[in-house]
Amino acid sequence: MKILVPLKRVPDPDTKIRVRADGSAIETDGVKYTVNPFDAIALEEALRLREQSGTVEILVISIGTAVCQEQLRAGLAMGADRALLIRHDGETDSLGIAKILAELVRRERPDLILMGKQAIDDDSNQTGQMLAGLLGVGQATFISRLTIAPGSGRATCCRETDSGLETVTVSLPAVVTTDLRLNEPRYVTALGIMKAKKKPLEEIDAASLGVDIRSRTHVTRLTRPKGRSAGVRVRTVDELLQKLREEARVI
């Protein structure tokens, strides 16, 4: 069994994000980068599937410039078998990323594409669904539990929805996107870092894939959210109701 896990390079969640004065992008000076947390969860689940069956090859992929090697090396240190960097320094969007991944899936022929449900930098939550559509395969999104019986060719997924838990079964190959409650990713060990240096990390140019990845989406301006006003303490229920009525009239 082969599992493909995309890893996106994103600002660390603990990094303070500053918007450039012209609103064109965020300030990158002094920003620490890491693997998208949802993607780390996807990789952890792939590692657990390998520990259960012992016959799983895990390929991690990232799309971007040479700096993305850092995140791929982190994935190899966690336990992935090999890594692939798609070199691309231009602008792209969720559809462009899905097209690149679709071409790689056709080349690598994985049994399962396991990826984070969204990236924390743009929160689009689109790539997994678009990828499944381009490939014409089944999908299970924002799952909180995954079970694959050896030799069954099917994945049973528990999804968290607004109305409760939903269990779906998809035939492999399929696209599965992970939610926060699926697992807790393991820490990278010193031994894992040493082993990662000997694992293969291949690079190919995005242009060589022969797909149109021009961005159809363009960010015109970024602004920081408005600060919240201070809270107001009320003494009685009647005073609370009066405040709520006043807020409703303002809205």
Exposure b/e, 189-217, CB count within 10 A at least 16 = b: eeeeeeebeebebeeeebeebeeebeeee
Neighbours of 126 (CB within 10 A): 18
Higher-confidence position of 194 and 230:
194
pLDDT surpasses 80 at 251 = no
pLDDT computed for residue 40 by the predictor = 96
Going by pLDDT thresholds of 50, 70 and 90, the confidence category of residue 233 is: confident
CA dihedral 192, 14, 178, 62 (to 10 degrees): -60
- pTM of the predicted structure, to 2 decimals: 0.85
Give the whole-angstrom CA distance, residue 20 versus residue 131.
32
**d(Cα 59, Cα 80) in Å, to the nearest integer?**
6
Q: Measure the CA–CA gap between 230 and 215, rounded to whole angstroms.
A: 41
What's the domain range around 244?
2-250
The per-residue DSSP string of 32-57 comes to -EEE-HHHHHHHHHHHHHHHHHS--E
Q: Are 165 and 101 in contact (CB under 8 A)?
A: no
> Which CATH number covers residue 193?
3.40.50.620
User: What pLDDT digit, counting tens, does each position of 125-174 carry?
Assistant: 999 999 999 999 999 999 999 999 888 889 999 998 888 899 999 999 99
Task: List pLDDT tens digits, range 22-78.
Answer: 877 788 788 889 999 999 999 999 999 999 888 899 999 999 999 999 999 999 999
Total domains present in the chain: 1
